[in-house]
Amino acid sequence: MKLALVGTGQMGGAVAREAEADSHKVVARFHSDRPFLEASRSAVGEADMAVDFSLPELAVPHLRRCCEWQVPVVMGTTGWYDALDDVRTLVQEHDASVLYAPNFSIGVAVLSRALGHVTTLMDALDDYDAFVQELHHTKKADSPSGTAQMLAEQVVDGLSRKDHVEPETQHQRIDPSAVHVSSTRAGTAFGEHTVAFDSPFDRVALRHRAKNRRGFAAGVLRAAEWLRGRRGLFTLDDVLDDWLNA
């Protein structure tokens, strides 16, 4: 594939290195000194796919531009999901190709699937209270992480006794119907997410710990390969479904 990278920070750099190691080619790069929104269609060149790891406030304008230009895009930027309905409309209007995920690690996707089964069991066990913890490096722009938010929303969907996610520090007794998400920013941690269910007797936990950024970059490329030739708005779940059915 020929790729256009939108955002050349740590994740963009990891995607570029993994792409070149996997016989793909980066044909265009956009960053703060060369903004994507100021570029012309010709600047994308012959790219088969755009990969976006930019900033939350730029995600939707970038998606709009890609839809208008008919450039398929894998969106790794998070923090824009409150505009998901608008993006869905954009994709439909332009018959475009967009695949987004808060985390492109295949291991996180497996964790998410496992959590769906666990919450089915835990819904009948009122003694267990759920929470989410996440740890990332100090340069991460958003808090909580998109992945932590996604996992917490899964817990809310799966447990009838929970009805909302609470990402803020608590200075009083927490609402028992909330799933608390706690975030830590320290050092150079690539990313660690834990979903736990605590009871008076024991604690059950599901955890994913990234060893490096290669796993995320490899997941991006696998998702991009899957997206080629498809039209619509997709998530990594659609990719997994297709692999499992195959």
| pLDDT tens profile 34-60 | 999 999 999 998 999 999 999 999 999
217 is in an annotated binding site: no
pLDDT at 102: 87
| Secondary structure string (H, E, C) spanning 145-179 | CHHHHHHHHHHHHHCCCCCEEECCCCCCCCCCCEE
Quote the CA–CA distance of 211 and 28 in Å, as a whole number: 28
In the chain, where do the E strands start and end? Answer: 2-6, 25-30, 49-52, 73-75, 97-100, 129-136, 164-166, 178-185, 192-198, 203-209, 232-235
Decide which of 97 and 109 is more confident.
97
Decide which of 79 and 152 is more confident.
152
The superfamily (CATH) of domain 2-104+214-245 is NAD(P)-binding Rossmann-like Domain (3.40.50.720)
Reported confidence tier of residue 141, pLDDT bands at 50, 70, 90:
confident
pLDDT at 246 over 70: no
Among candidate residues 66, 53, 59, the one with its CA nearest the CA of residue 98: 66
104 is in an annotated binding site: yes
Quote the CA–CA distance of 14 and 205 in Å, as a whole number: 29
Which letter, b or e, does each residue of 17-28 get, where b requires 16 or more Cβ atoms within 10 Å of its Cβ? ebbeeeebebeb
Quote the CA–CA distance of 207 and 124 in Å, as a whole number: 22
Domains 2-104+214-245 and 106-209 fall in the same CATH topology: no
Please list, in sequence order, all residues whose beta carbon lies within 8 angstroms of the beta carbon of residue 210, skipping any fewer than 6 positions away: 105, 107, 190, 191, 192, 216
Residues 101/81, Cβ–Cβ less than 8 Å: no
pLDDT at 113 over 70: yes
Q: So which residues are the catalytic ones?
A: 136, 140
pLDDT at 163 over 90: yes
Lowest mean pLDDT: which of 10-14, 46-50, 164-168? 10-14
Q: Give the pTM.
A: 0.78
Q: What angle do CA 231, 96, 51 make, to 5 degrees?
A: 95
pLDDT at 245: 80
Reported confidence tier of residue 240, pLDDT bands at 50, 70, 90:
confident
Question: What is the residue extent of each domain of the chain?
Answer: 2-104+214-245, 106-209
pLDDT at 243: 83
76 is in an annotated binding site: yes
Please list, in sequence order, all residues whose beta carbon lies within 8 angstroms of the beta carbon of residue 68, skipping any fewer than 6 positions away: 94
Strand partners, 208: 193
What are the strands of the beta sheet with 232-235, ordered from one edge?
25-30, 2-6, 49-52, 73-75, 97-100, 232-235
103 is in an annotated binding site: yes
Decide which of 21 and 97 is more confident.
97
Quote the CA–CA distance of 141 and 221 in Å, as a whole number: 23
101 is in an annotated binding site: yes
CATH tag, 106-209: 3.30.360.10
**Residue holding tokens 């996440």?**
134
Residues 13/76, Cβ–Cβ less than 8 Å: no
| pLDDT tens profile 186-230 | 999 989 999 999 999 999 999 999 998 898 999 999 999 999 999
What end-to-end distance do the CA atoms of the chain give, in Å?
23
